[in-house]
Amino acid sequence: MFTGCGTALVTPFRENLSLDEAALRANVRRQIDNGIDFLVPCGTTGESPTLTHDEHLRIVEITVEESAARVPVLAGAGGYDTAKVISTIAELEKLGVSGILSVTPYYNKPTQEGLFQHFKAIAASTSLPIVLYSVQPRTNVNIDVATVVRLAAIPNIAGIKEASGSLSQVSSILARVPDSFVVLSGDDAVTIPVVALGGHGVISVVANQIPFDFSELTHAAMRGDYQKARQLQRKYQALMEVNFIESSPGPVKFAMARMGLIEPAWRLPLVPPQPASQTKIECILEELGLIAGVRL
């Protein structure tokens, strides 16, 4: 269900920092029309830490409505309070989501046994498939390979978004989990090697900007057409890199605003990229023809 190219959707705000529902709906339609395989609202790229609970639910509700069962919706629901995560998942399940992406608890820094018990409790609370989200650079907690293997034995823990930054760890996971356990790249720039190792696709930031081409890159890699995948990688490598020139999703939202897709609005503590970063982003967008009229 969650294979191929999934988009980690940005959350568009208006100038007054209220949710821009029209821009969100437009982005969801644009993603689906351009071949994205599944949608991921309310993750890191969606600025989930600054969303109210009601906003979180509303964003997911809109994504489900606009997708109209054309693609699966993998809704973000993670945090450092297991009981609260379980409560949120119960509400998301009622909205008709296809699955849950759940990031490792941050700040309270659980042990590997704590991580196992946390995700085991989440899985036991719902019939939805759960995709783990391991992103040590943000949470300071890594889901070790042995823990992933233990969790993969739980029937409705369906996969992992692997953003540890270690291809060796990805390779080790793939060597030890069942083929049915979905391993997704959490980093656009290493989608090709993750797929080459046996991974099942990516949850992408850059797909917010170039849904058609990044979907094409992912699908080419998955069918073994590495020549085409490499061509697209080389074309868009600079865009993938500049999206992380400062803390994401600051740069990708700035770029999307320059593309005319959303308003340039971030909630504190996120701020617009610095002027030098903005110049670099604009130069890359211009080189790719993405500023003067949105290129799909």
Question: Could you identify the residue written with the tokens 């979905």?
Answer: 182
Q: Does 106 qualify as catalytic in the annotation?
A: no
Give the Cα separation of 25 and 179 in Å (integer). 34
- For 261-272, letters b (16+ CB in 10 Å) and e give bbeebbeeebeb
Residue at 255: amino acid letter: A
Give the Cα separation of 143 and 134 in Å (integer). 6
Torsion sign, CA atoms 226, 190, 187, 98: positive
Active-site annotation holder among 133, 228, 236, 253: 133
Torsion of CA 247, 256, 185, 127, to 10 degrees: 100
Question: Could you identify the residue written with the tokens 């697209």?
Answer: 232
Give the Cα separation of 24 and 9 in Å (integer). 9
Give the CA angle between residues 202, 76, 174 to the nearest 5°: 35
Active-site annotation holder among 94, 161, 236, 253: 161
Q: Are strands 38-40 and 4-8 parallel, antiparallel or unpaired?
A: parallel
Residue at 260: amino acid letter: G
Give the Cα separation of 46 and 59 in Å (integer). 9
Q: Does 109 qualify as catalytic in the annotation?
A: no
Torsion sign, CA atoms 112, 114, 115, 116: positive
Active-site positions? 133, 161
